[in-house]
Copies of this chain bind each other. A is one copy, B any other.
């Protein structure tokens, strides 16, 4: 039996997120599993590196599945991209050791978030960014990023309730790049809690707009209270860029 690792790109706009639902076929996992099942003639389950929420995009989601199929990988890739909807694309297939598990073995991820920073909307960016019309102070946001980087309990920046599962994560790097009216934020870390990137983004926007001081990040870390952080920004600006594995 082969264990196959796949790299997947999707425009999440039309979907209810990554994870398969029994009552809807509007999920990325569901779409891919159905086609793999048709292709191989036996029921296939795929393991994603993690869920992405409804509306979130991916440029480099990673998943794996096991199959007895002897089909060549180039034929498999052709088959998948012929039958998948055009907003889901399998970019790459490769055989990996039997023990490889896309979720358990993931050691880090990069997400990006795109802001359209102008008072006039954009016809082309509307589905791939969040319009924020006010002026943003990039220096202040970078100051706040310095406080976010490192190992912290991020429960205040997540939609999770307190539980026994650890909510400690490490953010290695946050980059902020402006190109024209787009401000692109990239977050690299060992893992991200549910809605963590979008809540951090909402907080950074408050700081960039001057309605919150960057010192307040420490207060949120100390209290762990979600309501002290910024809003959850919309999913359409969020992209899962890359998932990292050790060699």
The residues of A with any CB-CB pair to B shorter than 8 Å are 9-11, 57, 59, 77, 81, 86-92, 120-124, 126, 128
Contacts and interface: CB of A to CB of B under 8 A. Distances in A.
B9 A87 contact: no
A121 B87 CA distance: 9
Identical chains in the assembly:
2
Contact of A81 (B9, B11, B121): B121
A128 B121 contact: no
Nearest to A8: B123
Which 7 residue pairs spanning A and B have beta carbons closest together?
A9-B123, A89-B123, A11-B123, A86-B126, A87-B123, A89-B121, A10-B123
A81 B119 CA distance: 10
Contacts of A10: 123
A45 B217 CA distance: 53
Contacts of A77: 120
25 contacts: A9-B122, A9-B123, A9-B124, A10-B123, A11-B123, A11-B124, A11-B126, A57-B123, A57-B124, A59-B124, A77-B120, A81-B120, A81-B121, A86-B121, A86-B123, A86-B126, A87-B123, A87-B126, A88-B123, A89-B121, A89-B122, A89-B123, A91-B120, A92-B120, A124-B128
A121 to B, nearest CB: 5
Contacts of A57: 123-124
Contacts of A9: 122-124
A22 to B, nearest CB: 25
Nearest to A85: B123
